[in-house]
Amino acid sequence: MCDALGVEAKQELNPAQQEVLAELGAPKEQRPRFDAMLRHELQRALEDGLEPMLPMLDLREGEKPGDSMFVSKYALGQVLGCERKFVVEQAEPFEWKVPIARGTIAHKAIELSVHWRRELDPMTLVDEAMARRGEGIDPLADWLQTISETERAELRGTTNDLVLKFLECFPPLKPAWYPSTETSLRVEIHDRFVLSGRCDLSIGVADGDRAGKVLVDLKTGSTSLHHRDDLRFYALLDAIRIGTPPRRLATYYLDQGRFQVEDVTEDLLFSTVARVVDGVERMLMLSSGQRDAATATGPACRWCPVRHDCDDGKRHLADDEDTTLGAGW
Ligand code: SF4
């Protein structure tokens, strides 16, 4: 019997699916073991790095004394990129939009697909996921209940594209692989710094001190080395949480059917601690007025909210346009 993707129920995998299996799997003897003290050492390294910044927490504009500081992979990536863009975006209140919501709905649809007993039809999974998320009492549910018909149609269409690509490229996720979507991770340091995030997809589990989990970030668009930093952050949180770090980190580009993978090592985790400490320090310096926001040009200038008022950004975009046009001749 074939499902909607033309894949046999007792699975004939296409080359992309076979590649995913090959990248994510590993024989037990090839999976690394980690020292049980590692989680304590990582926690201590974060505590030592962040302790000098405790007095700066209460200097933040718009925060009450005693408020915790929430640190996400997104904020770290922003502040370690262009500080001016970070400051501008921090000042904007968060609101749900189609490009943001489609990832969350797609993850819910993928989660449903694991235990789905009927034909794996992406559109049905998306509709079910939208219905489930729309039933809650959280801000996403409020947004889903009030969006226009046009936004709903756009959300449905773009999410369907993501889910279809996922089902085409990944082998069907078996419950025995311990798949989990939007896995929330959280580490608190000095009861004031909250490092948290949600990983798109986690597959596998540790076996004692032997690593077995693979963290997967699903992306659209072009590859970027910065995407590795997002997964490293999650690997650090998971390593502190359970003591045995994930085995491998994989950014999967759905539009291209390609992976960027790296194995988790102790060095990688400690370098991530240093990146977190650096990023938190920059955020605190900026939010307490102890540092002027520097600009750093790059691809993000194209969708930066202040690109029309930023001289560096305008120059960069003009050069970029020249290069792009020149490349065509
Ligand atoms: S346009 Fe570019 S350089 Fe200027 S603030 Fe935005 S991201 Fe930074």
Which residue bears the tokens 């759905």? 254
Q: Residue 209 pLDDT > 80, yes or no?
A: yes
| Ligand 1 binding site (Cβ under 6 Å of any ligand atom) | 82, 84-85, 295, 297, 300-301, 304, 306-307, 310, 312-313
In terms of residue numbers, what domain contains 142? Answer: 95-172
Residue 71 domain-assigned (yes or no):
yes
Based on the domain organization, do 182 and 279 belong to the same domain?
yes
Based on the domain organization, do 184 and 143 belong to the same domain?
no
Looking at ligand 1, which residue's alpha carbon is closest to its atom 4?
Answer: 313
- What is the spatial distance between Cα 209 and Cα 9, in angstroms, rounded to a whole number? 35
Mean pLDDT of 150-178: 92
User: From ligand 1's centre to the CA of 328, what distance in Å?
Assistant: 26
User: From ligand 1's centre to the CA of 324, what distance in Å?
Assistant: 19
Burial class of residue 328, CB neighbours in 10 A (0-12, 13-18, 19+): exposed
Residue 25 domain-assigned (yes or no):
no
Burial class of residue 195, CB neighbours in 10 A (0-12, 13-18, 19+): buried
pLDDT at position 125, please? 95
Q: Would you place residue 7 in the very low, low, confident or very high pLDDT band (cuts 50, 70, 90)?
A: very low
User: From ligand 1's centre to the CA of 87, what distance in Å?
Assistant: 11
CA proximity to 193, closest of 267, 275, 268, 277? 277
CA proximity to 204, closest of 192, 213, 196, 194? 213
Q: Residue 221 pLDDT > 80, yes or no?
A: no
Based on the domain organization, do 213 and 72 belong to the same domain?
yes
pLDDT, tens digit, 9 for 90 and up, residues 112-122:
988 787 888 99
Looking at ligand 1, which residue's alpha carbon is closest to its atom 7?
Answer: 301
Q: Is 318 helix (H, G, I), strand (E, B) or coil?
A: helix
Based on the domain organization, do 270 and 221 belong to the same domain?
yes
Q: Would you place residue 11 in the very low, low, confident or very high pLDDT band (cuts 50, 70, 90)?
A: low
Based on the domain organization, do 304 and 183 belong to the same domain?
no
Domain count of the chain?
Answer: 3
